[in-house]
């Protein structure tokens, strides 16, 4: 709508133009028309002329900084922002601009304190400039791995602007992120104190400030209160949350560790200590240095010939063009996998001593106009570097690799790597047997005797005998459990707790502890058999919302097993989720068929279930079933909107079709060469495979024999 005297003044004061800048009403209307017509440069010139007659007017300065940013004049915008803030230090728009600049130049953590001032100065209003500042700072915080701070700001934004805003969608995606531990994602807010607490007034004042997103002020009051209420769990829990919302992991860790020493119960203490570990850079104190190493190659043809004939090196089954970089530099000519030992013969018994481990992936680039050929190895653990050096020096004896640190990796986490090279014809069952034996030996034999900095250099077995280390050790096992889940490994860590003589985590009676108040990390332990239908649905929805996979499986199985819930939409979703999560391919098909029947009984189309089943049939390379389903989809569902488009897209993703719709494999094409790295992903020995990933997706061209299985489907 065109602005008039009763429109809010663009200076950000919150007043109407009539009571703020009425002498500039005509000019402000002209500026508005120019902005609507995207006459940005003309508008900027007009404002600069007005500033000569009306210097330091906030309405002009606010629009000027916006225009300079829109037109990409970053240096001028930075100068204008500084002038705006200097002339109007309490102006909410000037503070929003400064928060934007601070986030860009100094990072999200530094920008939060400026943003708090902008929120306070806005006095309950939520301008477009404030929305922009919050959105940018959230993106910066996420790029800096400050998940809790980013989510807290997103929640604040969504609570102000409503459910239809993109911030709500982002909040839901953050809650459901699979690479974030449940103990980190726990959505419970600040804790209240007891009504009879002698310092309740001071506590409530800090609590109220936190609710207004004035986190720095609230944190200062809680920190002051911690001196007189040093044994209060609520004070230390709130301090930890506020500091995490302020992107202060060090302060949050300190508060969490203090909380864990209080009289809060063993599970509360362990979960707090585990959260502190997840916020730290080296959770278990066992970090190994990791490097990116580049080897310049003067004899590229010789290197490729040597690599192709080695029984400890294999070329990955992927099109290197998929690794094209954004800077238009050529993609690698090949991707190599390096192993710590030769592959055993198929006739040999598979065991942990004979199976080769993938040490690293190497990207080989050919000679370019201004650069020699090179081999780039990313994320190479320091202890494995000599092995790669030896491989390359067989061809380039005098090579001097260029190495730069790229971070670190937990020795425990690295130990869980199960990326192996199996002989041709190996089956999924053989891999699973090997994986089970490996985890058994790695966790119950090796890890319990591994010295950890978290335990002051003690081994888990030594620490288990000392009550002073109990909370830290149990928290370490919680971290280990998350890493196992991320690697797609199924191992009951209660066995590890029992091995060390520690308390195990048993089922929870939801009658005694309401599901809504349970920490997310405990949700999977609920005894679902004795709870009501509404509690099953509530637990299922909460588990799905926060991506709590183990809890999703538990509640979903109960949901599909109760006929009293047969008419609920959640039941159809549960069939689909369970089909994705089960490790049994046959059960996955049974669940899909159950979902299909339920949909048809309710008068719906089964097209989506047919397409869903088709992905499983492709993964299992069941040609007859693939042909049957495709024929069924084309004959029964071709007229349904979007079905054929979805089928075509799936076939492109599976490598059956090219993006232009032409066949990816010409009729009568010769089969691919025998693989050197087998995919045991559920097919019979000797059947062609593909690249498996932990989420159950696959890549590779149908009909090709693939060479790599990324473990995680067990």
- Return the pLDDT at 677: 37
State how far the Cα of 464 lies from the Cα of 459, in Å rounded to an integer: 9
- Exposure string for 160-194, b = 16+ CB within 10 A, e = fewer: beeeeeebbebbeebbeeeebbbbbbbeeebeebe
Residues 108 and 223 in one domain: no
State how far the Cα of 311 lies from the Cα of 410, in Å rounded to an integer: 29
Report the SS3 class of residue 337. Answer: strand
- Return the pLDDT at 698: 33
Query: Do 223 and 258 form a contact (C-beta atoms < 8 A)?
Result: no
Q: How confident is the model at residue 421 (pLDDT cuts 50, 70, 90)?
A: confident
To which residue do tokens 């985890």 refer? 439
Helix (H) or strand (E) holding 360: strand 358-365
pLDDT exceeds 60 at position 517: yes
- Return the pLDDT at 489: 83
Residue 150 maps to a domain: yes
Q: Are strands 402-410 and 287-297 parallel, antiparallel or unpaired?
A: antiparallel
First-last CA distance in the chain: 59
Least confident of 73-87, 109-123, 347-361, 608-622: 347-361
Helix (H) or strand (E) holding 168: helix 166-175
Nearest to 651 by CA among 615, 612, 622, 616: 615
pLDDT exceeds 60 at position 60: yes
The string of pLDDT tens digits covering residues 643-653 is: 999 998 888 88
What's the mean pLDDT when you consider all of the chain? 87
The string of pLDDT tens digits covering residues 70-115 is: 999 999 999 999 999 999 999 999 999 999 999 999 999 999 999 9
State how far the Cα of 148 lies from the Cα of 187, in Å rounded to an integer: 10
Task: Return the bridge partners of 335, or none.
Answer: 363
- Return the pLDDT at 691: 26
State how far the Cα of 449 lies from the Cα of 453, in Å rounded to an integer: 13
Mean pLDDT of 617-635: 87
The string of pLDDT tens digits covering residues 135-151 is: 999 999 999 999 999 99
Q: What percent of the chain has pLDDT over 70?
A: 91
The string of pLDDT tens digits covering residues 672-706 is: 433 333 333 333 333 322 222 223 333 333 333 23
- Return the pLDDT at 317: 73
- Return the pLDDT at 664: 64
Residues 227 and 271 in one domain: yes
Residues 123 and 237 in one domain: no
Nearest to 286 by CA among 449, 511, 116: 449
- Return the pLDDT at 670: 40
Residues 207 and 131 in one domain: no
Residues 227 and 94 in one domain: no
Q: How confident is the model at residue 668 (pLDDT cuts 50, 70, 90)?
A: very low
Residues 165 and 230 in one domain: no
Mean pLDDT of 422-446: 83
Residue 421 maps to a domain: no
The string of pLDDT tens digits covering residues 558-585 is: 999 999 999 999 999 999 999 998 878 8
Residues 141 and 214 in one domain: no
Residues 52 and 132 in one domain: yes
pLDDT exceeds 80 at position 669: no
Q: How confident is the model at residue 325 (pLDDT cuts 50, 70, 90)?
A: low
> What string of H, E and C letters represents the secondary structure of 107-154?
CHHHHHHHHHHHHHHHCCCCCHHHHHHHHHHHHHHHHCCCHHHHHHHH
Mean pLDDT of 223-230: 95
pLDDT exceeds 80 at position 128: yes
pLDDT exceeds 50 at position 116: yes
Cα-only R_g, the chain: 30
Residue 359 maps to a domain: no
- Return the pLDDT at 360: 87
Task: Return the bridge partners of 490, or none.
Answer: none
Residue 636 maps to a domain: yes
Q: Please say which residue of 279, 294, 318 terminates a domain.
A: 279
In the numeric block, which tokens belong to residue 459?
A: 């081994």
- Return the pLDDT at 700: 33
Mean pLDDT of 413-434: 79
Residues 26 and 90 in one domain: yes
For residue 242, give its domain range.
200-279
Residue 338 maps to a domain: no
State how far the Cα of 134 lies from the Cα of 112, in Å rounded to an integer: 9
Query: Do 656 and 664 form a contact (C-beta atoms < 8 A)?
Result: yes
Q: How confident is the model at residue 160 (pLDDT cuts 50, 70, 90)?
A: confident
Helix (H) or strand (E) holding 364: strand 358-365
State how far the Cα of 286 lies from the Cα of 685, in Å rounded to an integer: 39
Which CATH number goes with the domain that contains 22?
A: 1.25.40.10
Q: What percent of the chain has pLDDT over 90?
A: 62
State how far the Cα of 128 lies from the Cα of 143, in Å rounded to an integer: 23
Q: Please say which residue of 279, 296, 311 terminates a domain.
A: 279
State how far the Cα of 355 lies from the Cα of 344, in Å rounded to an integer: 7
Q: How confident is the model at residue 596 (pLDDT cuts 50, 70, 90)?
A: very high
The string of pLDDT tens digits covering residues 329-343 is: 788 899 999 998 887
- Return the pLDDT at 658: 77
Residue 157 maps to a domain: yes
State how far the Cα of 237 lies from the Cα of 290, in Å rounded to an integer: 34
Mean pLDDT of 454-475: 97
pLDDT exceeds 80 at position 436: yes
In the numeric block, which tokens belong to residue 426?
A: 């190996």
To which residue do tokens 């839901």 refer? 172
Residue 47 maps to a domain: yes
Q: Are strands 313-315 and 373-381 parallel, antiparallel or unpaired?
A: unpaired
Overall size of the chain counted in residues: 714
The string of pLDDT tens digits covering residues 198-217 is: 999 999 999 999 998 999 99
Residues 204 and 123 in one domain: no
**pTM to 2 decimal places:** 0.85
Q: Is residue 301 classed exposed, middle or buried when 0-12, 13-18 and 19+ CB atoms within 10 A define those classes?
A: exposed
Q: Please say which residue of 623, 643, 664 terminates a domain.
A: 664
- Return the pLDDT at 330: 82
Q: How many domains does the chain have?
A: 3
Helix (H) or strand (E) holding 431: helix 428-441
- Return the pLDDT at 655: 74
Residue 205 maps to a domain: yes
Nearest to 681 by CA among 700, 653, 658, 662: 700
- Return the pLDDT at 178: 87
pLDDT exceeds 50 at position 372: yes
State how far the Cα of 489 lies from the Cα of 710, in Å rounded to an integer: 12
- Return the pLDDT at 348: 62
Mean pLDDT of 291-317: 90
Mean pLDDT of 620-644: 89
Residues 150 and 256 in one domain: no
Query: Do 31 and 19 form a contact (C-beta atoms < 8 A)?
Result: no
Residues 129 and 232 in one domain: no
């Amino acid at each position: 709508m065109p602005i008039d005297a009763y429109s809010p003044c663009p200076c950000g004061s919150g007043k109407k133009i009539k009571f703020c800048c009425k002498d500039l009403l005509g000019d402000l209307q002209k500026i508005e028309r120019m902005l609507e017509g995207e006459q940005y440069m003309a508008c900027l010139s007009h404002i600069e002329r007005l500033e000569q007659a009306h210097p330091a007017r906030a309405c002009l300065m606010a629009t000027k900084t916006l225009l300079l940013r829109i037109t990409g004049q970053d240096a001028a915008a930075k100068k204008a922002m500084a002038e705006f803030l200097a002339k109007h230090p309490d102006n909410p728009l000037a503070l929003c601009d400064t928060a934007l600049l601070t986030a860009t130049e100094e990072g999200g953590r530094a920008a939060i304190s400026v943003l708090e001032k902008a929120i306070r100065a806005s006095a309950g209003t939520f301008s477009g400039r404030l929305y922009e500042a919050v959105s940018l700072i959230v993106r910066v915080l996420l790029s800096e791995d400050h998940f809790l701070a980013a989510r807290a700001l997103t929640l604040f934004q969504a609570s102000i602007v409503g459910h239809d805003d993109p911030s709500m969608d982002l909040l839901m995606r953050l809650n459901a992120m699979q690479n974030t531990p449940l103990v980190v994602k726990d959505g419970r807010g600040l804790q209240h104190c007891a009504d009879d607490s002698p310092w309740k007034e001071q506590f409530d004042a800090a609590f109220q400030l936190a609710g207004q997103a004035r986190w720095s002020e609230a944190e200062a009051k809680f920190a002051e209160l911690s001196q007189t209420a040093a044994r209060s769990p609520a004070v230390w829990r709130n301090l930890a949350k506020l500091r995490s919302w302020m992107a202060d992991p060090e302060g949050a860790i300190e508060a969490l560790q203090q909380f864990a020493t209080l009289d809060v119960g063993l599970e509360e203490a362990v979960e707090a200590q585990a959260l502190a570990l997840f916020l730290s850079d080296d959770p278990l104190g066992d970090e190994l240095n990791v490097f990116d190493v580049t080897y310049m190659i003067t004899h590229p043809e010789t290197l490729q010939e040597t690599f192709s004939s080695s029984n400890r090196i294999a070329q990955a089954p992927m099109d290197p063009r998929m690794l094209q970089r954004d800077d238009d530099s050529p993609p690698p000519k090949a991707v190599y996998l390096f192993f710590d030992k030769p592959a055993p013969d198929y006739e040999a018994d598979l065991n942990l001593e004979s199976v080769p481990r993938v040490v690293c992936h190497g990207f080989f680039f050919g000679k370019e106009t201004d650069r020699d050929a090179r081999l780039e190895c990313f994320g190479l653990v320091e202890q494995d570097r000599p092995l790669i050096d030896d491989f390359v020096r067989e061809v380039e004896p005098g090579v001097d690799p260029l190495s730069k640190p790229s971070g670190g990796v937990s020795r425990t986490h690295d130990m869980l790597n199960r990326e192996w090279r199996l002989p041709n014809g190996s089956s999924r069952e053989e891999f699973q047997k090997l994986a089970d034996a490996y985890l058994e030996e790695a966790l119950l034999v090796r890890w319990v005797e591994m010295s950890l900095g978290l335990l002051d250099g003690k081994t888990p077995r030594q620490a288990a005998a000392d009550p002073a280390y109990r909370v830290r050790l149990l928290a370490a096992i919680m971290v280990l459990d998350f890493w196992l889940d991320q690697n797609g490994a199924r191992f009951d860590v209660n066995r590890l707790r029992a091995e060390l003589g520690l308390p195990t985590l048993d089922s929870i009676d939801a009658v005694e502890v309401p599901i809504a108040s349970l920490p997310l990390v405990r949700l999977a332990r609920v005894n679902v058999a004795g709870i009501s239908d509404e509690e099953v649905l509530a637990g299922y929805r909460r588990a799905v919302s926060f991506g709590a996979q183990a809890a999703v499986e538990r509640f979903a199985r109960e949901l599909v097993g109760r006929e009293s819930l047969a008419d609920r939409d959640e039941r159809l979703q549960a069939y689909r989720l369970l089909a994705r999560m089960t490790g049994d391919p046959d059960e996955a098909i049974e669940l899909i068929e159950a979902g299909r029947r339920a949909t048809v009984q309710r008068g719906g189309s089964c097209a989506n279930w047919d397409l869903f089943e088709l992905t499983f049939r492709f993964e299992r390379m069941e040609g007859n079933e693939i042909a049957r389903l495709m024929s069924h989809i084309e004959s029964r569902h071709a007229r349904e909107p979007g079905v054929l488009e979805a089928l075509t897209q799936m076939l492109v993703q599976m490598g059956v079709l090219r993006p232009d719709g032409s066949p990816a494999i010409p009729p009568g094409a010769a089969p691919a060469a025998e693989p050197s790295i087998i995919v045991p992903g559920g097919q019979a020995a000797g059947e062609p495979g593909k690249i498996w990933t932990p989420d159950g997706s696959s890549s590779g061209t149908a009909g090709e024999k693939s060479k790599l299985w990324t473990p995680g489907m067990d």
